[in-house]
Structure 1
């Protein structure tokens, strides 16, 4: 096992205005040995990082569309632009590309209206804590890739209701910021045997607040399998019960479910 000691989704300025580069390293990838691809959640995290740097504002929400593969990419180029908004909130659009080929399209809003009193309506469900949950060793490809960066424990798996709850924690001790939560939210397709091994079409993250390093509970509720596609959403909580973010996703189901292959 190899653990990255740096936030592997962070971007650096590119050659043009409002252009940023994600150098692709092994922790940012998943896939079989010899055919790594940038995990969709990492691409979303990189886009969030670029837009926060460009706007100097905190994320409110972001949506990403997955357009084309990223196998063997050495870097992702994130081109972003402010395309609207007002005094408190900026609306952004962006495109990610590999060697000039578009791979992702992103929309986002950033900012805050102050003063504002926080009120959280969503409550963390009563589930086993991380110490009482079942550890699972993820295996999505080469040693040192994204799955080596995450501790993963299952608190609930109810396939008949489409509900799946996991505790996750960064092995390197990264904080639960918008980028890290975006990465974890992309494990959506792992919530059911029929969706494991599928391909994400899009992902949306609505960011409420961050938290210090530690365990995070992600509760995924699948809504439907229809026309070969799964739809669903998740809520993400700090260990003390605070709501951190809400995410949603649609994904194409595999032709043969990974769960069926295992069975």
Structure 2
């Protein structure tokens, strides 16, 4: 098992230019990828985390939300080229548009908002459900990836699985003890399709990520609720909590379900 010790979703300014130039590159390392030997691709959550990193660097503001569309495949990519641009906003919040390319081919389109308004008082209404803690949850090894890929970078323990109701709760923790920031939570949020047997092996069409707050390194509980399977797609959402119960982020996705063999149709 190979564990990355540097946040593998961090971008660098393109051509050594200023971090506020709007152009960035993600050097694609094995931890940023998933998929079998010979066909690794950039994990969607890593691409989202890289876009978040680029928008935060360019704006010098913390993320509020980001939405990404997955436009095309990223197999064998050596780098992801990102462009971010402020397209609106006011004194407290900046609105952004972003895009990403592999070898000149568009692979992602995104938008987001960053900033904060002071003074403010925090109120957290979402409550973490009562499930077993990470010490009592069931460890699961995710093996459908090349060695050193993204699944090697975190521990994964199932706290609740109700296939009939479409509810799945899982504890995850960075093996490298990365801080639980917007980037890491964006990566975790992309475990969405793995939360139900019928959606595993599918592909994400989009991802919405709303960042509430970060936390020190440790366990995160992601509670996924599937809303519907319809027209070969899946819709659902998730909430992500710190071990002490604080809400950290909210996410949602639409994905394409794996194709059902014709012989299995009634």
For normalisation by structure 1, the TM-score amounts to 0.97
Note the C-alpha offset of 1:140.
2.5
1:152 corresponds in structure 2 to 156
Q: Which SS does the other structure have where 2:187 is aligned?
A: helix
1:132 corresponds in structure 2 to 136
1:186 corresponds in structure 2 to 190
1:177 corresponds in structure 2 to 181
Which of 228, 234, 237 lines up with 1:224 in the alignment? 228
Which of 199, 204, 227 lines up with 1:200 in the alignment? 204
Which of 109, 112, 115 lines up with 1:108 in the alignment? 112
1:143 paired with 2:135, answer no
Report the Cα distance in structure 2 between the residues aligned to 1:256 and 1:164, rounded to whole angstroms.
22
Note the C-alpha offset of 1:256.
3.8
Note the C-alpha offset of 1:129.
0.2
Q: Which runs of 5+ in 1 are unaligned?
A: none
RMSD (Å), alpha carbons: 1.0
Note the C-alpha offset of 1:141.
1.4
Report the Cα distance in structure 2 between the residues aligned to 1:215 and 1:13, rounded to whole angstroms.
31
Q: Which SS does the other structure have where 2:190 is aligned?
A: helix
Note the C-alpha offset of 1:173.
0.2
Report the Cα distance in structure 2 between the residues aligned to 1:178 and 1:252, rounded to whole angstroms.
25
Report the Cα distance in structure 1 between the residues aligned to 2:90 and 2:219, rounded to whole angstroms.
36
Note the C-alpha offset of 1:191.
1.0
Runs of 4+ more than 2 Å apart: none
Q: 1:187-232: per-residue Cα shift (whole Å, max 9, x none)?
A: 1001111100000000010000000000000000000001000000
Q: Which SS does the other structure have where 1:182 is aligned?
A: helix
Q: Which runs of 5+ in 2 are unaligned?
A: none
Which of 246, 249, 253 lines up with 1:245 in the alignment? 249
Q: 1:140-166: per-residue Cα shift (whole Å, max 9, x none)?
A: 211110000010000000000000000
Which of 117, 121, 125 lines up with 2:125 in the alignment? 121
1:35 corresponds in structure 2 to 39
- Equivalenced residue count is 258
